[in-house]
Structure 1
Amino acid sequence: MIQETLGHLLPELELDPHTVSALLCASAAAVAALNWMQRRRIQKKMEEARRMRDLGLQCMEKAVQRFKQQNPGADPSRILSLPLVELAEKLKEGSLSAESVLYTYVDKALAVTRELNCLRHVIPECEGQLRDLQGQKEKGLLHGVPVSIKDHIGYKGHLSTCGFAPFLGPPEQENSVLVQVLKHQGAIPFAITNVPQSLFNYDCSNAIFGQTLNPWDHRKSPGGSSGGEGALIAAGGSILGFGSDLGGSIRLPSSFCGLCGLKPTVTGAIGPMAQDVGGLALCMRALLGDALFQLDPTVPPIPFNEKLFCASTPLRIGYYETDGYFLLPPCMRRAVRETGELLQEAGHTVSPAVPTSCSEAASLLSPAAAALQGCIVFMVAQDLVDPGLKPQVNCYRIPVLVKKILALLVRPLVSPSSGQLQVFYGSLPTLSPQAYRTEFIAKWKKLQLDVVLCPVLGPAFTLGYPGKLLAAVSSTMLYNVLDFPAGVVPVTTVTEADEEELLHYRGHYDDAWDRRLRKVRAVGLPVAVQCVALPWQEELCLRFMKEVETLACERKKCT
């Protein structure tokens, strides 16, 4: 049939259909050969990147062994047991040496990554920074503290891959602002951690360096996109780490891994992750200073407000168990309810406070998300797509016009308040971001709230699940749209009763996403809550987080 058609269409060329077919086959073979060559080039770049990573780890293992031989009396367990605030004090006063602390954490990080695959690279320059610290007369707030940083945070001489093979090119030419400020405060960046391909996924896997595992359960994801940080810190391989948060990328791995994490006010901002709230507060004290304000003029020159953080007056706390868009598992809602009761008993005023439409917040992100999705589709066309990202990429490849048509077809089938399907298929916002933010703040003020307590997505999902449950990030995404500071604090663990209740879970709409969530099992895994304050009130957010952490710890001791 094809040959007959070609014979009618191309008579002037005097080519018989067999010749044309041969040319088409040759062209197809040439395209296939080019694709194979491109894939082979990508694979070679990946192999070289993994070889360099392994070589770097081996070099640091030798450095650790040299230190152990020269210091046979060193006690790593004592160092690893210290919380960040106490460790920083001992380093500053000199009762602990920066050298012993650094090599202890490098050694632990190497052991952790053999189990969890959370390191993308070790920074060998950390050894040279030890010598630089010895000559410093003034000691910063993070003097000698080893810190880890997420893959895309620029460090001079090292790659920032975002999990993409095409980014395995020239290394960074300058240190990022964060790295400069950390060094100014005496911190020692020693490790770069793994991320999901594109950073636009809350699992942690890429085709170059592979899948990072959750230290609580290797069948579970550590969350993302700061998943390498979450796994490393939770397993004890770092005491302070830095991620970034465009839609929950600090808070989700903190929730999945049982950590404390803070998303600052600015959208997409870099923020700290640590074992406790005290560590986050110390970090923010160190960051919010003259060095940062001079290097980055976009950050308001507002130093850390110690008075606000240390205040003890009762708080007016609003809370909600669901945002009305995606109903989180029973254990996450229980955590909010029980934490609210503890806060009430502690003398705070706690009252229900339902936010404005979260489906509207999701739709406000859709234009920016569409642009980002287009970039991701372009990048993966030059790369090997990681299996964890494939469900999202397949969705992104649907033309925008088709999504809008689907939105029109879906709208009559769901309630007007429903957001999941409409937003997923390209619905449009009815408010501008600023109007939505103004409306939300006005309601907050009318209720006379200081802070808000609400759920965060969790517990940790099974590996591969995040790419299939995109709508579930509404709990964190809301505060990226609003540009509010928001933090995560672990408060309890999943119980058998939670799992039993999950069997009857239907969500808000009992759609495909809700039914998928029903299959998640996680007894014993960490359960966290989210603490929120108004813009530029990071200290109040941290104070609230500290109160929640203290009450949760007291309850744990009593049970």
Structure 2
Amino acid sequence: MENIKRQQVLGFTGGVLFVILINNFWRWKKKQNVLKKIKSKSVECKRAFDYVVEQLKKGNLSEDEVSQIVQLSFNDLHQQLQDGTLKAVTVLQAYQAFALKANERLNAITEPLVTAMDIAEKLDKQTGKKGLLHGIPVSVKESFDIKSLDTTAGISHFIGKPRPDDAALIKVLKDEGAIPFVRTNIPQTMMIYECSNPIYKETLNPYDLTKTPGGSTGGESALLGAKASIIGYGSDIGGSIRVPSHFCGCYGLKTTLERLSRKGTLSLSKGQMQVSGTVGPMARDLDGLIMAFKVLLTDLHFELDPSIPPIKFRDEIYNSKQSLKIGYYVTDGYTPAVPSCRRAVMLTKKALEAMGHTVVEFKPPRMVYAYTKLYLGTVMGDKGKNYTSKLKGDIIDPTIWKLMLPSKLPNFILRMMSWLYPILTKDKVFGDILKARMGINSVHDWFNHALKIQAYKEEFLSAWRREDLDAVICPPFAMAAPPLGKVADVISAGNYSMIYNLLNYPGGVLPVTKVTADDVNDLDNYPTNTRTLKLVKQFSMKSEGLPVGVQCVCLPFNEELVLRLMREAENGLNKLQD
């Protein structure tokens, strides 16, 4: 009898071990398949890099010639291409050479586009009227479809699935004579202010290689910040254009939803419509940003995507001389701006006042509620299943582990953590953040959630209208660029941008200043009563020299007014320096 029992125990144990062994084998097999796909993608991208390098050897541009071209402002480059002083091929080669050199330091480019030279050569042979972007090299985020290439979002699931056509905006750009010449890096899933993934690896900040360039349009911001591109295009669901622009000292515009077509762009959040990602331009200077937006508003654009309202660029709004009433704020009630970001807003306030505008303090209603209950409650309404499902069996990048973890925990554990954490840390808001990660339970609850968002939109607009505001200025993020891999620890610092995705207000970012030694010293007075604030202060201690931007926001479909406000702010800042 004992022998029978022993045999049964041994048999059961052997069966369990066999199941574990088989399970581990399949996990290993899946990982090997993922590594094989990543390797094949790396080979494909290297082939594109090698092809462009070989083309550049035939161009024989000197380093001085390259430098002279890439140092031109957008307006100067545009004019010289329009009047024929510069050829499209020459400009392309200069930017290819400079971008590849910058990429050795930053890893901002996922792949150069091998079709760029053919486009440039055809443009140089063209006769008749030139497009508005004739010969201008354009960089694009990897999330924009390019015919015959994969669009991956840093996820191996999408490798080996080349897109059948260009994105709508890529078609419009080409129609206006632009030359898409590189695609730029993104974070895995495109849902964090970092720029790292297992396929293309990590992108670095051009101002400090130990800092993040931001995300999800991080490769774009790094390339523009390094002066290795002149205009580019990205997407934004929670600051993904504005925060990287702030971190890397470039210009960016988040548009109103459906002002520009998203047709042919990858997003892992398209299943819900309460907070949707938008696309928009980025640039090295403001003139470039304005043209990069204006050029898209064409009949072809509206024909390619009839869901886009056919609103052309409204010069009467952009060129208006009417004085504005502008609100400002430097705290969201949870993560106040650090001294450098607060100073940037106050400098911009002073500059706008010097331009004849009225600037008053504005207190947006219930921003913490909007962030925790509404914004996070929406984008995590399915508990992150939409994007985590694409990661099944994939290699997970370390930068998104902390964001993914709550999605893997049962709700009763999250509920317990949301109760215990505020008691242990005296940080009630973080408890609400954990609750938001639990998702929404039913369609009925989702309908009620949508009603709460609508009510908040009306509440915010009422507060805006009570102050009779035309626009608002504020930080894009509570601090300058954090260290690589640390954004998840201070993610709430992005509420200054996230709220305008919830509200669907357009917002632009322009560089205003850089972090000074005095800004760092003033951190002595920065609050440290929560873990988040302690980390914001800690990560800001070695930030001297990093760029600092300011966000300009207007009501929906008023992108022209946003750009006008950015112009007024820049002119005022220049006036103060004279």
TM-score of the aligned structures, taking structure 2 as reference length: 0.89
Q: Is the 8 A contact 1:268 1:480 kept in 2?
A: yes
Residues paired across the two proteins, number: 542
SS of residue paired to 1:192: strand
Q: Is the 8 A contact 2:327 2:469 kept in 1?
A: yes
Match of 2:100 in 1: 110
1:322 matched to 2:331? The reply is yes
SS of residue paired to 2:508: strand
Match of 1:516 in 2: 535
Distance 1:506 1:94, change over 3 A: same
| Deviation sequence 1:16-37 (CA, Å, 0-9, x none) | 1011111211211111111111
Q: Is the 8 A contact 1:213 1:219 kept in 2?
A: yes
Show the 5 A alignment for 1:528-539. Answer: 528-539=549-560
Which amino acid is the alignment partner of residue 291 of structure 1?
A: L
Show the 5 A alignment for 1:90-109. Answer: 90-109=80-99
Match of 1:368 among 378, 384, 401: 378
1: CA distance between counterparts of 2:122 and 2:179? 10
Which amino acid is the alignment partner of residue 119 of structure 2?
A: Q
Match of 2:157 among 162, 166, 190: 166
Distance 1:431 1:419, change over 3 A: farther
Q: Is the 8 A contact 2:111 2:184 kept in 1?
A: yes
Q: Is the 8 A contact 1:262 1:488 kept in 2?
A: yes
SS of residue paired to 2:561: helix
Distance 1:74 1:337, change over 3 A: closer
1:148 matched to 2:139? The reply is yes
Distance 1:438 1:73, change over 3 A: closer
How many Å apart are 1:243 and its aligned residue?
0.8
Q: Is the 8 A contact 1:260 1:274 kept in 2?
A: yes
Match of 2:487 among 466, 488, 491: 466
Distance 1:73 1:341, change over 3 A: closer
Match of 2:261 in 1: none
Which amino acid is the alignment partner of residue 322 of structure 1?
A: T
Show the 5 A alignment for 1:304-453. Answer: 304-362=313-371, 363-370=373-380, 371=382, 373-407=384-418, 419-426=429-436, 432-453=452-473
Match of 2:58 among 63, 66, 76: 66
Match of 2:444 in 1: none
Which amino acid is the alignment partner of residue 26 of structure 1?
A: F
| Deviation sequence 1:465-518 (CA, Å, 0-9, x none) | 1122221210100100000010111111111111112233225xx222111111
Which amino acid is the alignment partner of residue 516 of structure 2?
A: T
SS of residue paired to 2:509: strand
Match of 1:203 among 194, 204, 210: 194
How many Å apart are 1:255 and its aligned residue?
0.4
How many Å apart are 1:530 and its aligned residue?
0.6
Match of 1:299 in 2: 308
Q: Is the 8 A contact 2:88 2:121 kept in 1?
A: no
Match of 1:455 in 2: 475
Which amino acid is the alignment partner of residue 113 of structure 1?
A: N
1:49 matched to 2:57? The reply is no
1:492 matched to 2:513? The reply is yes
SS of residue paired to 2:511: strand
SS of residue paired to 2:468: coil
Greater displacement, 208-217 / 276-285: 276-285
Match of 1:481 among 483, 496, 502: 502
1: CA distance between counterparts of 2:208 and 2:47? 28
2: CA distance between counterparts of 1:136 and 1:437? 51
How many Å apart are 1:135 and its aligned residue?
3.3
1:119 matched to 2:139? The reply is no
Match of 1:188 in 2: 179
2: CA distance between counterparts of 1:72 and 1:500? 44
| Deviation sequence 1:428-467 (CA, Å, 0-9, x none) | 8696222211221122122111110111213111001112
Match of 1:506 in 2: 527
Match of 2:572 in 1: 551
Q: Is the 8 A contact 2:354 2:572 kept in 1?
A: no
Match of 1:31 among 23, 33, 55: 23
Match of 2:272 in 1: none
Distance 1:404 1:531, change over 3 A: same
Structure 2 alignment gaps of length 5 or more:
258-275, 441-448
2: CA distance between counterparts of 1:503 and 1:392? 30
Which amino acid is the alignment partner of residue 19 of structure 2?
A: S
1:22 matched to 2:14? The reply is yes
| Deviation sequence 1:368-404 (CA, Å, 0-9, x none) | 3222722233233320011111121123322344434
Q: Is the 8 A contact 2:415 2:434 kept in 1?
A: no
Q: Is the 8 A contact 2:355 2:568 kept in 1?
A: no
Which amino acid is the alignment partner of residue 350 of structure 2?
A: E
SS of residue paired to 2:189: coil
Identity rate, percent: 35
Q: Is the 8 A contact 2:107 2:204 kept in 1?
A: yes
Q: Is the 8 A contact 1:403 1:426 kept in 2?
A: no
Q: Is the 8 A contact 1:420 1:471 kept in 2?
A: no
How many Å apart are 1:407 and its aligned residue?
4.0
Which amino acid is the alignment partner of residue 350 of structure 1?
A: V
Match of 2:209 among 206, 218, 229: 218
SS of residue paired to 1:424: helix
Q: Is the 8 A contact 2:252 2:289 kept in 1?
A: yes
SS of residue paired to 1:158: coil
Distance 1:316 1:32, change over 3 A: same
Q: Is the 8 A contact 2:523 2:537 kept in 1?
A: yes
Q: Is the 8 A contact 1:231 1:257 kept in 2?
A: yes
Greater displacement, 147-156 / 279-288: 279-288
SS of residue paired to 1:487: strand
Structure 1 alignment gaps of length 5 or more:
none
1: CA distance between counterparts of 2:424 and 2:434? 14
How many Å apart are 1:73 and its aligned residue?
11
Match of 1:272 among 233, 258, 281: 281
1: CA distance between counterparts of 2:376 and 2:461? 22
1: CA distance between counterparts of 2:409 and 2:522? 36
Match of 1:286 among 286, 292, 295: 295
Q: Is the 8 A contact 1:411 1:422 kept in 2?
A: no
2: CA distance between counterparts of 1:430 and 1:164? 30
